[in-house]
A = this chain, B = another copy of it.
Amino acid sequence: MDEPSGLDRKPRGRGLTFSRRTLIAAGGVGLATPALGLAASTVPTSPAAAATGATKKVTIYAEQIGTTNQYGYGLEPGKPTIPGPLLEMYEGDTMEITLVNNTTQRLSIHAHGVDYDTVSDGAPINNSFNNPGETRTYIWRSHEMTAAAGRRFMPGSAGYWHYHDHAMGTDHGTAGVLRGLYGGLIVRRRGDILPDKTFTVVFNEMMINNKPSGSTPQFEANLGERVEWLAIGHGNQLHTFHLHAHRWADNRTGMLEGPNDPSIVTDNKDLNPGSSFGFQVIAGEHVGPGAWMYHCHVQSHSDTGMAGIFLVRNADGTIPAAASADIARFKGHMSQMSTTHDHTK
């Protein structure tokens, strides 16, 4: 069976040695401390700050998932997942991705948002891909904002990005993307609030995280947890992502920078091919626990199964009886646990 993906999946035992935090590309002492997420400063103040950027080495295995026509990236051989592991870094950090191609097809890894030389682009036109069986390292850098003329700044790398194959099937990786070779990439600005959990949700043709109608992911959190959503669009179709009972500012963080932040607040946003966005909400804030729908708002898409459940449990982790009934109504049987990246574990 295909695995729930990711770096931070619920550990099966306390002995699991890697954790979500280790994948934040931050070797420096200061970066992985709890204080970081709440640091007051959000402005890079000196070149020295940039100099603190850490380099994180990650090995990713691209593999077929069992005998299906699905493929995934994984952190361990034999454990490909869809989506692939959530990768995170701070502005200024570097990530060295050693990609092991354990398939019989040409493939690559192409990142949005970060900095790379052409040899790490992941595009066949740049001769940047792995032949079958080949191992190759892709280097992704990132940077903080820099002053431009006047009062303006060239933007830093922070954002809710993603990565995907750019070489399987066609020079754009259409077969690889269709079959599951994609994942989330978050570049954080120093001082950003860290969530308790991150959900990666990918609308890809008529599937969610490559799951068809009836087996779409169920995302779960306890009432009051700070939950981060990273939404990614792939394929060929028009999609819009709608979440019931929770809304976010349509800006970099999903929160307002202050009372004069002009951002639109929304609960429905276009999610078209190659796009991604993210936001944080407090699970059940203002609305309480329950089984809340998320779905594509293109009517024929939601009707044919591009829909799933965001289960907000009670604060103590128990499931409200009504929510259980609602989920049973939605599926007939409890859906499988979805991929969540739990920052608290």
A103 within 8 A of B: no
Chain B, Cβ-Cβ closest to A297: B274
Cα–Cα, bound, A156→B156 (Å):
27
User: How many copies of this chain does one complex carry?
Assistant: 3
Asked if A268 contacts B112 (CB within 8 A), the reply is yes
Asked if B251 contacts A172 (CB within 8 A), the reply is no
Of B117, B151, B178, B300, the residue contacting A288 (CB under 8 A) is B117
Asked if B299 contacts A234 (CB within 8 A), the reply is yes
Distance (whole angstroms) from the CB of A20 to the closest CB of chain B: 19
A183 within 8 A of B: no
Cα–Cα, bound, A126→B288 (Å):
13
Asked if B286 contacts A141 (CB within 8 A), the reply is yes
Chain B residues whose CB sits within 8 angstroms of the CB of A252 once the complex forms: 262-265
Cα–Cα, bound, A116→B270 (Å):
24
Asked if B275 contacts A240 (CB within 8 A), the reply is yes
A302 within 8 A of B: yes
Cα–Cα, bound, A252→B151 (Å):
14
Chain B residues whose CB sits within 8 angstroms of the CB of A282 once the complex forms: 154
Chain B residues whose CB sits within 8 angstroms of the CB of A266 once the complex forms: 159, 275
Cα–Cα, bound, A331→B150 (Å):
40
Asked if B256 contacts A152 (CB within 8 A), the reply is yes
Of B159, B172, B267, the residue contacting A295 (CB under 8 A) is B172
Scan residues 254-291 of chain A and give those whose CB is less than 8 A from a CB of chain B: 255-270, 272-277, 282, 285-288, 290-291
Chain B residues whose CB sits within 8 angstroms of the CB of A149 once the complex forms: 37-38, 193
Cα–Cα, bound, A303→B260 (Å):
41
Assuming the A-B contacts A149-B37, A159-B265, A265-B252, are A270 and B275 also in contact, with contact meaning beta carbons closer than 8 angstroms in the complex? yes
A253 within 8 A of B: yes
Mask for A93-106, Cβ within 8 A of B = 1, else 0?
A: 00000000000000
Assuming the A-B contacts A240-B272, A299-B235, are A153 and B118 also in contact, with contact meaning beta carbons closer than 8 angstroms in the complex? no
Asked if A274 contacts B242 (CB within 8 A), the reply is yes
Asked if B125 contacts A293 (CB within 8 A), the reply is yes
Mask for A120-138, Cβ within 8 A of B = 1, else 0?
A: 0101111100000000000
Asked if B150 contacts A42 (CB within 8 A), the reply is yes
Chain B, Cβ-Cβ closest to A121: B244
Chain B residues whose CB sits within 8 angstroms of the CB of A44 once the complex forms: 259
Distance (whole angstroms) from the CB of A285 to the closest CB of chain B: 7
Asked if A303 contacts B268 (CB within 8 A), the reply is no
Interface stretch (choices A21-29, A70-78, A210-218, A322-330)? A322-330
Scan residues 152-171 of chain A and give those whose CB is less than 8 A from a CB of chain B: 152-159, 170-171
A247 within 8 A of B: yes
Task: List the 10 closest pairs (A to B, CB-CB), nearest first.
Answer: A274-B297, A251-B262, A118-B290, A115-B286, A268-B274, A43-B259, A153-B256, A152-B255, A174-B299, A155-B265
What are 12 A-B interface contacts by the 8 Å CB criterion? A42-B260, A113-B247, A117-B287, A117-B288, A118-B292, A125-B309, A127-B329, A150-B191, A150-B193, A155-B247, A235-B299, A250-B264
17 A-B pairs besides A151-B258, A154-B285, A238-B272 with CB distance below 8 A are: A38-B149, A112-B268, A115-B245, A117-B287, A121-B292, A125-B309, A125-B330, A152-B193, A152-B255, A155-B248, A158-B265, A159-B266, A171-B303, A172-B302, A172-B307, A262-B263, A270-B270
